Amino acid sequence: MVLPVYMDNHATTPCDPQVLEAMLPYFSDRYGNASSKGHYFGWQAAEAVNIAREQLAGALQADPREIVFTSGSTEAINLALRGCFEMFSAKGRHLIAVTTEHRAVLDTCTHLEKLGAEISYLPVLPDGLIELEQLKSLLRSDTILICVMVANNETGVIQPIQSIGALAKERGIYFFTDATQALGKIPINVEKDGIDLLACSAHKIYGPKGVGALYIRKKNPRVRISAQQDGGGQERGFRSGTLNVPGIVGFGKAAWLASQEMEKHMPSIGRLRDRLEKGLMKYPGVQINGNPIQRLATVTNLSFGEVVGKQLLENLIKEVAISSGSACSSASTEPSHVLKAMGLSDEAAYQSIRFSLGKFNTPEEVDYVIEKVGKTFKSAKEFKPV
């Protein structure tokens, strides 16, 4: 076993060796620009991008022409929300977003409010799930977009996406979902789920950082959004700029692998997660945050009672890589907005830690973490809350 043990896979995952192998030629021998249509090097790059587009579309049960590559989920989210509001603000200015959405969604909503958007923030139940009836009560005649993530990055709680998609279609409202954490972990079918816009990223599924995608429905209904980046007209004009060919190749390979390996890896990762939970919950005051059933197999978010989570993190920093919340908000001293939205106090949120596992974790690592947390738990009980 190699130290430190990595259990922060919801922040990012290590690149799969098969993904790296697929990418390497496009850094050296096949270095062409995918927009260079006049010679062999450009054709090579364009063909590689087309294959990756098909691979990612296959993972989403989408048409390859509905995939727009971006620099990551954050850009995809901004393109979806800003592009939708800009296109339809004359028709309606009302959007709905869940209070436990990723900061990329919530901060974009805050920006749109400055531009005249009206945002209704849908609360969640104490277990992190939304109530469909409450969502229905927020719908208005000028609602243009519903934003609900598939699975939460901090708790793993999975929302009733199909029901939300059916409701949106019934009312003629676009449905956007952030599938960054869900892709490759649970089946996603944009047709069956009624999804109109979907953001995802490569580095959460053992692919490279710096590449993501936005799915934009092409028919029934055809979704129209305004581009947020102008230039050479790449990606059907939705996202201009020279394509990151090696990254896109890696994303495609990672998406294909995730689809192929889901049935194999998710049950085994779930067993490791359950083993970890069982070992940690023998300590007094430890509780699961979020619905214990309707969640991803890859994560557990635990509140450590009287023990301060930050202190546990500091004590374990050299041996175990874990997180107190979203990696994108780790620089903040504020308690997790996700846990607070679920009704936890500031103190309880501060005392919570996310353990997120991946396909490269082992039972030996889980047992080591249980032992290390136990020792730290006992010593940290003497510390005062931050």
* 92 and 114 co-located in one domain: yes
Residue 358 belongs to domain with CATH number: 3.90.1150.10
Dihedrals φ, ψ of 176, to 5°?
-105, 140
* 151 and 297 co-located in one domain: no
pLDDT tens digits, residue range 145-203? 999 999 999 999 999 999 999 999 999 999 999 999 999 999 999 999 999 999 999 99
- Over residues 325-331, mean pLDDT: 54
Q: Write down the mean pLDDT value for the chain.
A: 94
Residue 333, Cβ neighbours under 10 Å: how many?
A: 7
Last residue of a domain, which of 206, 233, 256? 256
Paired with 98 in beta bridges are 122
- What pLDDT was estimated at residue 332? 58
* 200 and 273 co-located in one domain: no
d(CA 264, CA 223): 35
Which carries the bigger pLDDT value, residue 158 or residue 382?
158
Is residue 19 within 8 A of residue 204, CB to CB? The reply is: no
* 95 and 228 co-located in one domain: yes
Residue 247 belongs to domain with CATH number: 3.40.640.10
- Residue 380, pLDDT > 90, answer no
Last residue of a domain, which of 239, 256, 273? 256
Measured in whole angstroms, the distance separating CA 179 from the mean position of its chain's CA atoms is 5
- Residue 53, pLDDT > 90, answer yes
293 assigned to some structural domain: yes
- What pLDDT was estimated at residue 378? 75
Q: Could you give the angle at the alpha carbon of 47 between the alpha carbons of 44 and 49, nearest 5°?
A: 110
d(CA 341, CA 127): 10
- Over residues 307-313, mean pLDDT: 79
Q: What is the pTM of this model?
A: 0.95
Point out the catalytic residue in the list 84, 147, 200, 328: 328
For residue 155, CA distances in Å to 1, 93, 198, 254 come to: 27, 31, 20, 23
Burial of 11 (0-12, 13-18, 19+ CB in 10 A): buried
386 assigned to some structural domain: no
385 assigned to some structural domain: no
- What pLDDT was estimated at residue 381? 61
- What pLDDT was estimated at residue 379? 77
- What pLDDT was estimated at residue 328? 57
Helix (H) or strand (E) holding 157: none
23 assigned to some structural domain: yes
- Over residues 231-235, mean pLDDT: 95
Residue 282, Cβ neighbours under 10 Å: how many?
A: 10
Q: Which two tokens stand for residue 24?
A: 């390497």
Residue 97: CA count within 13 A, CB half-sphere: 23
* 279 and 211 co-located in one domain: no
- What pLDDT was estimated at residue 315? 86
Domain region containing 355: 5-13+262-380
What is 37-60 written as a DSSP string?
A: TTSHHHHHHHHHHHHHHHHHHHHH
Q: Which two tokens stand for residue 322?
A: 């874990």
> If we measure between CA atoms, which residue out of 166, 165, 205 comes closest to residue 182?
205
- Over residues 326-341, mean pLDDT: 75
- Residue 354, pLDDT > 50, answer yes
* 174 and 266 co-located in one domain: no
- Over residues 101-123, mean pLDDT: 98
- What pLDDT was estimated at residue 259? 97
pLDDT tens digits, residue range 315-324? 888 999 999 8
* 231 and 310 co-located in one domain: no
Question: Is 200 a known active-site residue?
Answer: no
- Residue 386, pLDDT > 50, answer no
Is residue 70 within 8 A of residue 214, CB to CB? The reply is: yes
* 199 and 267 co-located in one domain: no
- Residue 361, pLDDT > 80, answer yes
Name the domain count of the chain: 2
- Residue 45, pLDDT > 80, answer yes
List the single range of 10-19, 98-107, 372-381 with lowest mean pLDDT.
372-381
* 251 and 332 co-located in one domain: no
- What pLDDT was estimated at residue 232? 94
For residue 243, CA distances in Å to 68, 211, 320 come to: 11, 10, 36
pLDDT tens digits, residue range 252-264? 999 999 999 999 9
231 pLDDT tier (thresholds 50, 70, 90): very high
Cβ-proximal residues to 163 (8 Å cutoff; 6+ apart), any chain:
132
Helix (H) or strand (E) holding 259: helix 245-280
List the single range of 43-57, 248-262, 282-296, 304-318 with lowest mean pLDDT.
304-318
- Over residues 261-274, mean pLDDT: 98
* 198 and 64 co-located in one domain: yes
Question: Amino acid identity of 255?
Answer: A
* 236 and 266 co-located in one domain: no
* 246 and 329 co-located in one domain: no
